[in-house]
C-alpha cells in the first residue's frame, strides 16, 4: 500500500469517530458557550469542526483523483445515517433563530438554555457531511443507472459541477437565513403595530431626535433661520446641517464647520444672521467636553424648554446663561 493510500484509509477510518465527537462537543458548547471546552481540553469545539472540514476536503480531493477508490462500508453507513438528521436540525435551528428574532436577544438561551448562534455550527457540520455523502454516492447511482459508463466518466463530468452546486446551495442557505429572519422581524412588528402613526414610525428610527425636531417646528415660523452646533463631540446628529434641515424645512439652518481637533468651535456662533438657536444637550458620548450647547451667553427674548411629554416650558429671560444646569441638560429652542 502506498503512503498516500495509507493516509486515505486512515482518514476514512477516523471520519465517523471524529464527526461523532465533534457533534457531541458542538452540542456541549451550544448549551454553554464557545470556549467552554477550552478550559478542560485546550481546544474549543470549532477546532474539531474545522478538522472535520479539512478531513472532508482531503477525502474529496483523493476520491476525485482516484475515481475507483471507495469509502469503507462503516463510513458510508455513518454518513448516510447522519444525513437523515440534516433536515430536522435545519428546522430546529430555524425555529430557534426566528423565535429569537420575534422576541429579544438571548431569549432562546434564557428559555431553552441553547445559544442559536452556536447551535448553527451543528447544522453546518451536518450540511457538509451530507453534501460529502451525496458527492460520494452520486458516483454509484449514476453508474448503476447507466447515466455514465464508469466512475471515471462521472468524475470527469461532475467534479467542479458538484462543487459549484455546493457553493450555490451554501450561498442560498447563508443568505436566506438572514433574509427570512429580517422579513419575519419586520412582519411581526407590522402585525403587532398595524396602525402606528407617521410620527411614531419616525420615532422608532430616530428616537429622541425626531420629537426634538418636531418641537423646533412647533415653536418657530417657517421663515426662521436656526443656528445649530457644529457636528462634533456630543452633537454629531444635532449639528449635522443636512439632517436637521430635512426635519425643519423650509426653515434654514446655519452652523460652523466642525473642528477636527479641539473644541474651540463650540464656543463660537455662526457668522451669518439667524433668528433662533437650537438648545441641545447632545446625545453622542464624548468625555472631553461637557454636555450642553450653546456654550456662550448672548441676549435672547425667550427660551422654549422641551418637556418630556413634548410640551414647552417658556422662560422669558433677557440673556442665555450657558452655566445654568437647566441649560446644559435640556433640549429646546432659543428665540432671539
Q: Which is nearer to another protein, 1 or 242 (CB)?
A: 242
Q: Which is nearer to another protein, 180 or 312 (CB)?
A: 180
Min separation Cβ 167 and another protein, Å: 5
Report the alpha-carbon distance of residue 244 to residue 237 in Å, rounded.
Answer: 8
Angle at 72 (CA atoms; ends 70, 74), nearest 5 degrees: 145
Min separation Cβ 38 and another protein, Å: 26
Q: Which is nearer to another protein, 2 or 205 (CB)?
A: 205
Residue-wise burial string across 212-241, b where 16 or more C-beta atoms lie within 10 A, e elsewhere: bbbbbeebbeeebbbbbbbbbbbbbbbbbb
Report the alpha-carbon distance of residue 249 to residue 262 in Å, rounded.
Answer: 31
Min separation Cβ 246 and another protein, Å: 5
Distance between terminal CA atoms of the chain?
94
Q: Which is nearer to another protein, 275 or 315 (CB)?
A: 275
The alpha helices in the chain, defined as continuous H runs, are 3-31, 38-41, 45-65, 73-83, 86-102, 107-112, 116-144, 151-192, 198-206, 209-218, 241-248, 325-328
Instruction: Note whether 226 and 245 are within 8 A (CB).
Output: no
Q: Which is nearer to another protein, 62 or 210 (CB)?
A: 210
Min separation Cβ 179 and another protein, Å: 5
Q: Which is nearer to another protein, 241 or 315 (CB)?
A: 241
Q: Which is nearer to another protein, 160 or 314 (CB)?
A: 160
Report the alpha-carbon distance of residue 75 to residue 50 in Å, rounded.
Answer: 19
Backbone angles phi, psi at 49, to 5 degrees: -60, -50
For residue 279, the cross-strand partners are 332
Residue-wise burial string across 11-28, b where 16 or more C-beta atoms lie within 10 A, e elsewhere: bbeebbeebeebbebbbe
Q: At a CB cut-off of 8 Å and minimum separation 6, what does 9 contact?
A: 1
The grid coordinates of residue 184 equal 419575519
Min separation Cβ 187 and another protein, Å: 7
Min separation Cβ 220 and another protein, Å: 17
Report the run of H or E that residue 195 belongs to, with start and end: none
Min separation Cβ 198 and another protein, Å: 6
Which residues of this chain interact with another protein, rule CB under 8 A?
Answer: 157, 160-161, 163-165, 167-168, 170-172, 174-176, 178-180, 182-183, 186-187, 190, 198, 201-202, 205-206, 240-243, 245-246, 249-250, 252-253
Q: Which is nearer to another protein, 113 or 201 (CB)?
A: 201
Min separation Cβ 190 and another protein, Å: 5
Amino acid at each position: 500500500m502506498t503512503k498516500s493510500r495509507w493516509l486515505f484509509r486512515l482518514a476514512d477510518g477516523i471520519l465517523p469517530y471524529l464527526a461523532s465527537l465533534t457533534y457531541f462537543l458542538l452540542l456541549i458548547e451550544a448549551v454553554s458557550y464557545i470556549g467552554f471546552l477550552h478550559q478542560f481540553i485546550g481546544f474549543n469545539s470549532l477546532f474539531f469542526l474545522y478538522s472535520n472540514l479539512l478531513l472532508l476536503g482531503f477525502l474529496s480531493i483523493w476520491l476525485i483523483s482516484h475515481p475507483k477508490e471507495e469509502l469503507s462500508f462503516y463510513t458510508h453507513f455513518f454518513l448516510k445515517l447522519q444525513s437523515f438528521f440534516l433536515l430536522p436540525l435545519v428546522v430546529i435551528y430555524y425555529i430557534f433563530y426566528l423565535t429569537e428574532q420575534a422576541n429579544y436577544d438571548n431569549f432562546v438561551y434564557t428559555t431553552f438554555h441553547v445559544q442559536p448562534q452556536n447551535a448553527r455550527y451543528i447544522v453546518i457540520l451536518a450540511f457538509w457531511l451530507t453534501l460529502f455523502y451525496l458527492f460520494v454516492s452520486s458516483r454509484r447511482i449514476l453508474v448503476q443507472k447507466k447515466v455514465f459508463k464508469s466512475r471515471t466518466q462521472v468524475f470527469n463530468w461532475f467534479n467542479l459541477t458538484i462543487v459549484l452546486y455546493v457553493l450555490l446551495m451554501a450561498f442560498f442557505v447563508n443568505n436566506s437565513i438572514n433574509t427570512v429572519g429580517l422579513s419575519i422581524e419586520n412582519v411581526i412588528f407590522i402585525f403587532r403595530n398595524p396602525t402606528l402613526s407617521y410620527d411614531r414610525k419616525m420615532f422608532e428610527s430616530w428616537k429622541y431626535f425626531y420629537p426634538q425636531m418636531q418641537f423646533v417646528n412647533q415653536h418657530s415660523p417657517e421663515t426662521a433661520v436656526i443656528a445649530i452646533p457644529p457636528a462634533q463631540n456630543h452633537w454629531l446628529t444635532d449639528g449635522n446641517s443636512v439632517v436637521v434641515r430635512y426635519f425643519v424645512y423650509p426653515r434654514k439652518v446655519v452652523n460652523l464647520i466642525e473642528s477636527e481637533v479641539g473644541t474651540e468651535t463650540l464656543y463660537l456662533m455662526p457668522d451669518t444672521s439667524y433668528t433662533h438657536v437650537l438648545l441641545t444637550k447632545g446625545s453622542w458620548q464624548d468625555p472631553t467636553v461637557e454636555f450642553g450647547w450653546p456654550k456662550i451667553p448672548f441676549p435672547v427674548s425667550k427660551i422654549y424648554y422641551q418637556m418630556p411629554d413634548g410640551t414647552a416650558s417658556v422662560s422669558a429671560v433677557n440673556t442665555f446663561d450657558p452655566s445654568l444646569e437647566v441649560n446644559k441638560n435640556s433640549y429646546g429652542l432659543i428665540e432671539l
